Chains A and B, each alone.
Chain A
């Protein structure tokens, strides 16, 4: 391999910038790569230079597949960062390969019959490299999209306690909820039975209501119902002299807030599942 490809590799290394400039002109006006037209030309050229400079390393490595990763992973990251759609990123790679050959042909690198034969073998090698690069770019690009979604949903996931804590996340959630509900019962009893008032403390009950809806979606509404029934029962038992209206409104608000948050969380969960299923 080394003997027949040497001529091509030398040319690519020596003229990396020229070939990259030619590629940049091509890719920035090609109708199959419109996203490149808005990128700064210098950045596009630099990307091309990187590929052509790494060509020797990729071509001569014992494990070409692993060597190709040096370029592929960075290329996928840059395309993803520049919001270049995957099919355009792939076509830009095709143009990278084509421009390499156009340049070699234009320079008359392969003239004699022997050189023509070398050209076929070099072409085969280039195609193999390209096959590896395109496979790795697509794989990495999809991985980056998944990471993107994970990052965007990160804070919500933390709240949802989606990160397993020693594989006992549901026990932790239930345990914490149990403590919060017990606290709510004590607080209700203290305010209603001891202090004889229902003011302010009920706002604290939104903490378990919202957490339950975040964790269990629409099913979390049962916590809101429980707390609503709790303040109404407690009112009936300990605040007989105080009108019921305020606590009825509070209980209704618990159910409304719990329901809305649960409904929204189910929507977010659906989007997350969808991303995981389609990408």
Chain B
């Protein structure tokens, strides 16, 4: 777990910089056309918040419940914005990639020991994002069904 702390520090202290890189990517990525007309200043805060919340639960023994909670709110916000589910999920994939791109750019894993730490961090990050993907899709799916049932009642 300690091995992941370097990445955690990076996520906590550089969330704004990573979010900026992410925003630049997501507004032109061919798999996220919804974001192409988005104002970068408006989408950066959602990524900053995401990185900060993720860093808070990163070292939890059982992070799933906490992830489910904050991803529930994240999914609600994206649902209200009418972001298609597959694009919203790909935007999250890009958030994960930008943590690593930033870490590589900052050269935080140099020595052999640090390379080992990199692998541990990677494994931990993947686990966190597996939970994130599941929690996000679950909530989004629930919201889609609720919306349908609510409008159907009218």
Contact = CB atoms under 8 A, between A and B. Distances in A.
A249 interface: no
Contacts of A86: 85, 137, 141
Contacts of A279: 144
B137 A119 contact: no
Contacts of A127: 126
Contacts of B151: 270, 274, 278
Contact of A135 (B31, B112, B115, B144): B31
B13 interface: no
Contact of B141 (A87, A123, A124, A131): A87
- Report which residue of A86, A98, A119 has the largest number of chain B beta carbons within 10 angstroms of its beta carbon: A86
B152 A274 contact: yes
B148 A85 contact: no
A80 to B, nearest CB: 13
B147 interface: yes
A275 interface: yes
Given A135-B31, A135-B93, A142 B86 contact: yes
B118 interface: yes
B9 interface: no
Interface in A226-279: 270-271, 274-275, 278-279
Contacts of A134: 89, 93, 133
Interface in A67-126: 85-87, 90-91, 94, 98, 113, 116-117, 119-120, 123-124
A271 B86 CA distance: 23
B152 A142 contact: no
A135 B133 CA distance: 11
B86 A139 contact: yes
A139 B152 CA distance: 24
**Centre residue among A98, A139, A270, A275 by max chain B CB count within 10 A:** A139
B89 A135 contact: yes
A41 B152 CA distance: 37
Interface size classification for chain A: 20 to 34
A85 B139 CA distance: 12
Chain B interface SS verdict (over half): helix
A110 B90 CA distance: 30
A29 interface: no
A32 interface: yes
A32 B131 CA distance: 10
Contacts of B86: 135, 138-139, 142
Interface string B121-154: 0100010001001100110010010011001101
Contacts of B1: none
Nearest to A274: B151
Nearest to A93: B133
B143 to A, nearest CB: 9
A152 to B, nearest CB: 14
A138 B119 contact: no
Interface in B103-124: 112, 115-116, 118-119, 122
A226 to B, nearest CB: 30
Interface of B: 31, 84-86, 89-90, 93, 112, 115-116, 118-119, 122, 126, 130, 133-134, 137-138, 141, 144, 147-148, 151-152, 154
8 A-B pairs with the lowest CB-CB distances in the bound complex, closest first: A87-B138, A87-B137, A138-B86, A139-B86, A94-B130, A131-B93, A274-B151, A91-B134
Interface of A: 32, 85-87, 90-91, 94, 98, 113, 116-117, 119-120, 123-124, 127, 131, 134-135, 138-139, 142, 270-271, 274-275, 278-279
